[in-house]
Amino acid sequence: MSRGFNIAIVGATGAVGQEIMNVLQERNFPVSDLKVLASARSQGKKLKYGDDELTVLEARPDSFQGVEIAFFASGAVSKELVPEAVKRGAVAIDNSSTFRLDPDVPLVVPEVNPEDVEKHNGIIANPNCSTIIFVVPLKPLHDAARVKRVVVTTMQAVSGAGKVAVDELLLQTRQVLDGEKVQPHVFDHQIAFNLIPHIDVFLDNSYSKEEMKLVNETQKILHDPELQITATTVRVPVLRSHSESINLETERELTADEAREILKGAPGIIVRDDPVNLEYPMPLFTSEKDGVFVGRIRKDHSRDQALNLWVVSDQLRKGAATNAVQIAELLISKNLL
């Protein structure tokens, strides 16, 4: 990374946009010029970037003139503005679901399918947060023993639904403790001291859209449409970091020790697996970190060729912002800009 690049962040005032700014600084990403863009109502706001104070501008088609990499962290505008950015010569890294299943758009997790960035035509999709956290440990085990079927249950933090959801959890927690009546607004039910097995809309097959994102995106990333996956996604009263309980069945039997060693050697993974000493991943200790933490690695005693894993990662970091910046780093390292 010998020179600086002209960067734009759409949705810079939101949670993911703010994390992208943090990650760019932390990873010493070579930024020559940074445009922070958002909706008209945020125009004029000031954002800190290192020692600089940047003024938020309204995201418009002409905002991308001279931009080389455009990060999109605002789902509502991607359909309209991503093509406009590409038309003006930028490579768009989009965090929305708009282009994820488009066969002409690569869906990339750098630790899993970095070669797919070479197929881009100006747009690269960032997968859903729960998908990213899922595929990072799945890929090395799939390579080693061919995963045939997976049952995954996600326990997703409220910050995945935005700052208003975080505020709602904090408010409801105080209300419950003070004996006050709780009135949900962001979620359909009270989230404080509760679990809600419902994220996004329900589809005709009785699965939620969030559950089918995990299925369809994983098959695309691993280039394996035959991989069988069933998912249940649950919103939990945790502020930050998603957790996933994963049961996977392989063609070749793997012992827990083999799986543990494979995962220890895989990129992006931090193994925390010492239950005797009460060491395992938890949201409390994985928040604001970039790794995908794996523990509770054990044989499924009900099936010969199956394993259980417990996986936790910060969905705003590796599940969104860090993954997007890693994609940009890949583009630069491969001279694909």
Q: Do residues 24 and 62 share a domain?
A: yes
Distance CA 10, CA 3 (A): 22
Whether 5 contacts 331, CB under 8 Å: no
Q: Do residues 110 and 44 share a domain?
A: yes
Tens digits of residue pLDDT in 242-298: 999 999 999 999 999 999 999 999 999 999 999 999 999 999 999 999 999 999 999
Task: Estimate the share of the chain in helix, then strand, then coil, as percent rounded to the nearest 5.
Answer: 35, 25, 40
Maximum separation of any 2 CA atoms in the chain, in Å: 60
Give the CATH number for residue 285: 3.30.360.10
Tens digits of residue pLDDT in 183-194: 999 999 999 999
Q: Do residues 143 and 260 share a domain?
A: yes
Residue 2 has what pLDDT?
A: 61
Give the CATH number for residue 63: 3.40.50.720
Q: Do residues 103 and 151 share a domain?
A: no
Q: Do residues 116 and 90 share a domain?
A: yes
The residues, ordered by sequence, that sit 6+ positions from 302 with a Cβ below 8 Å of its Cβ are none
Q: Do residues 202 and 116 share a domain?
A: no
Q: Do residues 141 and 23 share a domain?
A: no
Determine the length of the chain. 337
Query: Could you tell me which of 145, 126, 165 has the C-alpha nearest to residue 317?
Result: 126
- 120 belongs to the catalytic site: no
Residue 1 has what pLDDT?
A: 47
Tens digits of residue pLDDT in 120-173: 999 999 999 999 999 999 999 999 999 999 999 999 999 999 999 999 999 999
Q: Do residues 289 and 145 share a domain?
A: yes
Query: Could you tell me which of 260, 223, 245, 12 has the C-alpha nearest to residue 133?
Result: 245
Whether 126 contacts 73, CB under 8 Å: no
Q: Do residues 117 and 181 share a domain?
A: no
Question: What are the angstrom distances between the C-alpha of 105 and each of 113, 127, 150, 261?
Answer: 13, 11, 25, 33
Q: Give the residue numbers spanning the domain of 184.
A: 164-190
Q: Do residues 93 and 179 share a domain?
A: no
Distance CA 322, CA 303 (A): 36
- 142 belongs to the catalytic site: no
Q: Do residues 179 and 143 share a domain?
A: no
pLDDT at 75 over 90: no
| Domain's final residue, options 149, 173, 190 | 190
Least confident of 55-59, 71-75, 104-108, 210-214: 71-75
What is the band of 74 on the pLDDT scale with cuts at 50, 70, 90?
confident
Catalytic residue among 189, 223, 242, 301: 242
Query: Could you tell me which of 269, 263, 329, 266 has the C-alpha nearest to residue 297?
Result: 263
Q: Do residues 182 and 269 share a domain?
A: no
Catalytic residue among 129, 142, 185, 223: 129
